Chains A and B, each alone.
Chain A
Amino acid sequence: MELVAVVKRDCETCRLVEPVLAQIRARTPLALYSQDDPAFPETLGGSLDDTALARSWRLNIEIVPTLIRFEGDKEVARIAGWDRAEWERVAQHPKLGPGLPAFQPGCGSLTQDPGMPERLALAHGDLHLKSRRIDVADPEDAIEVAYDRGWSDGLPVVPPTPLRVAMMLSGTTRRPDEVIGLIPPNLSECTVEKAAANAVMAGCRPEYFPAVLAVIETALDPKFSMHGLLATLWFAGPVVIINGPIAKRIGMNSGGNAFGQGNRANATIGRALQLVIRNVGGGIPGGVDRAVFGNPGKYTFCFAEDESDPDWTPLNVARGFKSGTSTVTLFHGDGVQGIAAGRSRTPEGLARSLAMGLAAVCHPKLAEWSGAILAISPDHYAIFRSGGWRRAEIEAGLREALRRPGRDLVYGALGVEEGIDPARAEEMVDKFNPGTLLVVRAGGRGGLMSAVIGGWPAQRKKTEVQPVTREISP
């Protein structure tokens, strides 16, 4: 029988059990390790130095003091914190610590400090990261090296050190070497580890990582057609909408300035996808990305839906997911177009007003072409709500208000060449293909305005290109 104890000076309970350790050592071989000071405990002549925490890590210590009994190489009993009866059982030693309280909880092991489990897992080979390691000689600037290597979207990236990548990986239960899929355009394998490196560079926190993985997987769904979206001449890029409890948990913004700057999760989740496309897939502007203009949302475009009204059907529920499910929805969108509609006081009038803004998407004379996102502000929503309109009525009202006589839309009508096939002159024509107008609630109070995010003309091929929603799993 051999006993092992792990302590630290900076722990009141460890100091409390000092005489107990002396009692034990008088009878039984005891290997005593200190995590912070090998001079402690002085009455026992100090301890073995475990300030590098190697022994603590191997012994999987979470609390100090911990006492462990080994028979040969095999651990047979363990107690963490001070509990007289348990210590007596583990040490097989009666009457330990006379005069001490029967019980006192221990303190956190230094192996559990923030970042320490990842640091130790890397140092001791429990976490094996396969990516090539690139040495940056200090004082060379790692951010500049990242620029030189072409990893940046134009803004500085957080250097993907092994420790930062390991901490990002702690945000998921998935293995680092699991392949998520093939990233266009080069169809390179993206492992969870590569996704983590890019999420680090984007500025994500580990708790965002499940959302980042779901965003990447959604982009790779063939129905989303990420290759085509990257390659298009059009402005569009992936727009990410987050629904469900994760949005609140990671502090996303669905309110004032939801499409703008200033929220870390909004800013970095969308950016992580774009960096994966760039770095793993090799998709870069002027290469396969042929955008004529692009749009600022191609750095990042991600927001959460406002789900504060229990009477509102959130986007993911409308798309078939159970209420309370955390999801990502990816849409092919370009920039934001505001609609001022300050004079409407009825749902019907407001729907007609918003429809006029939506009618301009892609081109006022194109129909069943690009889709769109309509983000309804709280003040506009209040008008719909007080008139008894919810999602179904709003969508129906918009569809009705957006139907136009084909004769006004055909080539040449109204003196404009652009338009639709003259064969449709006698029909009433919808502006949007079914399922391509996503209505969401977002934005802050104080303005009778809503927002249109125009879609991608390839959405006219409705069986080939669709918005895609996917559940976020841990």
Chain B
Amino acid sequence: MNTQTYQMLDPTGELAAERRTRRAPPASLEGATIGLMSISKERSREFLDTMERLLTGRGLKIERFEKPTHTKPAPEPVVQAIVERCDVVVVGLAD
């Protein structure tokens, strides 16, 4: 049997690989600040207004955020503001 080896080059982004672990969800929402981020799609805001009303009704603290366009990822300052001020974030789609 031919035991010659054959080599392939890894075509993935392994050279710049970075492993990030998923953050554990909080055990309870008591005292937590909830971020609501609109992705700026049609009716995102209406959807998140409803979310805010329901969550505020349960005594939770809400912070609102918005990214400029749903066609691109959120800019870094928006992401950082959420990380700084919130414990949990809900990203709002709608349509």
Q: Is the CB of B2 within 8 A of A458?
A: no
Complex CA distance for A462 and B63, rounded to whole angstroms: 30
Q: Is the CB of A165 within 8 A of B9?
A: yes
Complex CA distance for A46 and B12, rounded to whole angstroms: 49
Chain B residues contacting A461 (CB-CB under 8 Å) are 69, 71
Chain B residues contacting A188 (CB-CB under 8 Å) are 13, 16-17
Check A159/B10 contact, CB under 8 A, given A222-B72, A228-B71, A465-B71. Answer: no
Tell me what chain B mostly uses at the interface: helix, strand, loop, or mixed: loop
Does A136 have its Cβ within 8 Å of any Cβ on chain B? yes
How many residues of chain B are within 8 Å of chain A by beta carbon? 22
Chain A residues contacting B50 (CB-CB under 8 Å) are none
Instruction: Among B1, B7, B69, point to the contact of A464 (Cβ < 8 A).
Output: B69
Q: Which residues of A122-163 are within 8 A (CB) of B?
A: 129-139, 142, 145-146, 151, 159-162
Q: Is the CB of B3 within 8 A of A138?
A: yes
Q: Which residues of B1-21 are within 8 A (CB) of A?
A: 1-17
Q: Is the CB of A131 within 8 A of B6?
A: no
Chain B residues contacting A133 (CB-CB under 8 Å) are 7-10
Chain B residues contacting A159 (CB-CB under 8 Å) are 6, 8
Does A367 have its Cβ within 8 Å of any Cβ on chain B? no
Q: Which of A79-87, A194-202, A250-258, A439-447 contacts its partner? A: A194-202
Given A161-B7, A279-B13, 6 more pairs with CB closer than 8 A: A129-B9, A161-B6, A189-B13, A225-B71, A228-B71, A280-B12
Q: Is the CB of B3 within 8 A of A131?
A: no
Q: Which residues of A291-317 are within 8 A (CB) of B?
A: none
Complex CA distance for A465 and B69, rounded to whole angstroms: 10
Q: Can you list 16 A-B contacts (CB < 8 A)? A: A129-B9, A131-B11, A132-B10, A136-B7, A138-B6, A139-B1, A146-B8, A162-B9, A165-B9, A186-B13, A188-B16, A190-B13, A201-B11, A282-B12, A464-B71, A464-B72
A-B CB proximity, top 8 nearest: A188-B13, A197-B11, A228-B71, A131-B9, A132-B10, A189-B16, A458-B71, A136-B6
Complex CA distance for A132 and B15, rounded to whole angstroms: 8
Complex CA distance for A133 and B7, rounded to whole angstroms: 6
Chain A residues contacting B8 (CB-CB under 8 Å) are 133-134, 136, 142, 145-146, 159-161
Q: How far is the CB of B2 from chain A (nearest CB, A)?
A: 5
How many residues of chain A are within 8 Å of chain B by beta carbon? 46
Encode contact with A along B53-91: 1 for CB under 8 Å, 0 otherwise: 000000000000000011111000000000000000000
Chain A residues contacting B73 (CB-CB under 8 Å) are 184-185, 227
Q: Is the CB of B1 within 8 A of A194?
A: no
Q: Is the CB of A281 within 8 A of B9?
A: no
Q: Is the CB of B71 within 8 A of A131?
A: no
Q: How far is the CB of A132 from chain B (nearest CB, A)?
A: 4
Complex CA distance for A370 and B39, rounded to whole angstroms: 19
Encode contact with B along A446-474: 1 for CB under 8 Å, 0 otherwise: 00000000000010010011000000000
Chain B residues contacting A344 (CB-CB under 8 Å) are none
Complex CA distance for A188 and B1, rounded to whole angstroms: 40
Complex CA distance for A227 and B71, rounded to whole angstroms: 8
